[in-house]
Amino acid sequence: MSRQLRAGDDRPTRAALIADPNAAPHPPEPAYAIRTRGLVKSYPGPAGSAIHAVRDLDLEVRQGETFAFLGPNGAGKSTTIALLCALARPTAGHARVAGADVVTQPHEVRRQVGMLFQHSALDPDLTADQNLHIHARLYGLRRRHARERAAEVLEMVGLTDRRRSPVRTLSGGMRRRLEIARGMLHSPRVLFLDEPTTGLDPHARAQVWEHLRALRDRNGSTLFVTTHYLEEAENCDRIAIIDRGRLVAQGTPAALKAAIGDDRVALRTSDNVTAQQVVRRIAPSDQAITVDADGVCLRAPDGSAWIPRLCAALEGHGIAVHAASATPPTLDDVFFHHTGRSIHATAPGRTPADTNPSETTAKGEGGR
Amino acid sequence: MTTPTLQAPADSGTERPARLRHELRAVHALVYRDLLRLAGQRTHTALMLLHPVLYLLVLGGGLAALIPSTSLGVGYQTYLFPGMLMMTVQMPAITVGMRLIADRQSGYLRELLMAPVSRSTLLLGSCVGGTLVATAQGAVLLSLAGAVGLPYDPPLLVLLLAGMILASFTVTALALALAVSLRSAETFHMVLGLVMMPLLFLSGAFFPLATMPGWARALADANPLAYGVDLLRRCIALLVPDQAAVGGIEWAGRQLPLLLEAALLLTGGAMALLWAAHRFNRPE
């Protein structure tokens, strides 16, 4: 039944292409791996109120794309994944994943998706091989096929030599890779990864991403990754930013950054105060020009192109420029722009200017 | 068991065999996991067997001299044997319930729930796995039959094994029914600690139910362990008539037919399993 439905989904697109050859210049309707409309999940809260974990979510993830779902802890990322995997029922709205409806065809959805949970879900007492075999059988693979696939995916994540080791003897990074292998065992069309690198050291994190990229290149799998690491989101094809259950932005990293605007140009000069007045005369008039520790700062589109012009003008006024830089907006700027907060209120190496303790501590997603 | 098919959506006729095969593979996956764990935890298994063996050889050996076999119909160790078989199968059966809760807490249950099979199938797989492991451990204790004066007679051993499968199934199903309705391991342990001792004492494992006061006998009539112990004891009596012990479950002063007792255990287990599946299937 489900097979027919999926074929049916393809038909309008194909029919349209055949019927109208002039439509060729138009790219065909992009095939969505995930598409949600008005997705809502709420839990009964204290005193008859409702806690909205996910509100009115419209997501579009194209096939073969690596999609980052970015948000601070407790934003609703895990709940959204639970909804998309048909582990939880949405309170309202629709979602289609890998061509199947999460409410009416949960089995079909789960057959087509793989899942990497936020917390390790391996049986620590069994070996890598045994964990994989159990998973393969749960997904209905024949015994021989299960063994072949297990060997393949172990090879893929570079764990072939540890296949007979009990999982409890593997390092955190190896477990993560084993879970990626397990997630790919039944060749899913969409692989969900819920914070795949949380708790790993930088080396293991890099390795996990290396394997994920190889996976996408080799199998063309769609990857749906939740993360609160901005630099990881940066490398994905597209990003959605979620905050307090609401989608605040969706697009490519470049587009999101471009949308909020301009590069930050900083000039360290011999006389910052005079320089500020000189710069004000030639810079776009609507931008504020400030003086801070970096020197004279302004925001301008295509900032690096401004640097020679500014330098020339300043030198014409006898002001020496010691250093100049143009920094494009970061995803944190994007997040700040949309939410008024920094995503990493307490992350190391970032200014804890916008600390909001309630957001960073409790992982209040009852996403079960 | 019809549980897996109960939950299956109305697939077209051609897909049903594939679907059923798929669900069976999932059951096999869970049974396989239980067997692997059994094979991997030899120390744990040996320790679980220690308890009943001690009861049988030390307690039984000590009391055998004090309790005249005329009052029980058999020597005390022989009397104790079915009870200890029951005790052996009951522990791994309960472990299945504990593991369901542990899996829930560790997150492994989510991995199972993600599988494209019905939740009833997952529960059925756990139940089959628990039953098999429990029976396997019971079979080890069965090797002590000679030590308590029973013959190593193949029909007797087969019959006792069958009785243990049935009893294991019932206890596993009850443990699962308890486990799906409790969220925390602490509560599960507390409930077990509270009821296990009374259930064991009220099972007729250590002394005949007939010697107990009436209220206690009434409680024993509702005790699944008592039916299990009685079933095993009656199996022995059936094939080795000179080792027939007195006392046991009686309804209105009459012994139940052996088959009815077996049917009661089976029904009880099936009901518990169905209820557990019903609870487990509730969307979250």
Position A343 in a domain: no
**Cα B9 to Cα A2, A107, A139, B6, B123, distances in angstroms:** 11, 9, 17, 8, 18
Looking at A131-135, A314-318, B227-231, which range is the least confident one?
A: A314-318
**Can you give the pLDDT at residue B28?**
94
Let me know whether A4 and A138 are in one domain: no
* Residue B81 lies in domain: 24-280
Helix B224-239 vs helix B185-201: crossing angle, to nearest 10: 40
Contact A122 B32 (CB under 8 A): no
> Domain for residue B18, yes or no?
no
A-B contacts at Cβ under 8 angstroms: 77
Flag if A134 and B33 touch (Cβ within 8 Å): yes
DSSP string of A94-126? EEEETTEETTT-HHHHHHHEEEE-SS--S-TTS
Residue A51, in any domain of the structure: yes
* A141–B28 CB contact, under 8 Å: no
**In A, which residues are within 8 Å of B36 by CB distance?**
126, 130
Residue A96: which domain range?
A: 32-256
Q: Residue A292 has what pLDDT?
A: 75
**What average pLDDT does the segment A304-322 reach?**
85
Q: B-chain residues within 8 Å CB-CB of A125?
A: 37, 40-41
* Per-residue model confidence as pLDDT tens digits over B162-176: 999 999 999 999 999
Q: What pLDDT is recorded for position A280?
A: 81
Same-domain status, A72 and A215: yes
**Model pLDDT, residue A244:** 87
**Mean pLDDT for the stretch of residues A227-256:** 88
Kindly indicate the confidence band of residue B157, based on its pLDDT and cuts at 50, 70 and 90: very high
Residue to mutate among B41, B111, B119, B121, with most A CBs inside 10 A, is B111
pLDDT of residue A162: 93
Specify the number of domains making up chain B. 1
- Shared-domain flag, residues A180 and A284: no
Lowest mean pLDDT segment, chosen from A101-115, A277-291, B132-146: A277-291
Beta carbons of B116 and A108 less than 8 Å apart:
yes
Residue B284: exposed, middle, or buried by beta-carbon count in 10 A (0-12, 13-18, 19+)? exposed
Q: How many domains does chain A have?
A: 3
Counting residues of chain A whose pLDDT is more than 70, the rounded percentage is 84
Contact A107 B9 (CB under 8 A): yes
Q: Say yes or no: A2 and A100 in one domain.
A: no
Q: Read off the tokens for B171.
A: 């206890």
Interchain pair B12, A1: CB under 8 A: yes
pTM over 0.95: no
Domain CATH code at residue A244: 3.40.50.300
* Mean per-residue pLDDT of chain A: 80
Distance (Å, whole) CA B256 – CA B264:
10
Q: Are residues A48 and A154 in the same domain?
A: yes
Q: A162 with A288, same domain?
A: no
Chain A nearest-CA residue for B21:
A140
ipTM of the complex: 0.84
Residues contacting residue B108 through CB under 8 Å, at least 6 positions apart:
A121, A122, A123
Residue B70 in domain: yes
The pLDDT, as a whole number, for residue A360 is 34
**Whether residues A17 and A43 fall in one domain:** no
Task: Name the residue facing A121 among B107, B283, B284 (closest C-beta).
Answer: B107
Of A314, A318, A333, nearest to A267 (Cα)? Answer: A314
| Residue A125 falls inside a structural domain | yes
Examine the domain organization and report whether A54 and A14 are in the same domain.
no
Please report whether residue A347 resides in a domain.
no
Average pLDDT for B135-148: 91
B139 domain residue, yes or no = yes
Chain A CB within 8 Å of residue B193 CB? no
The answer to whether residue B258 scores a pLDDT higher than 70 is yes
With an 8 Å Cβ cutoff, are B117 and A115 in contact? no
Q: Which residues of chain A approach chain B closer than 8 Å at the C-beta?
A: 1, 85, 87-89, 107-108, 110-111, 115, 117, 119-123, 125-126, 130, 133-135, 137-141, 368
Residue B41 lies in a domain: yes
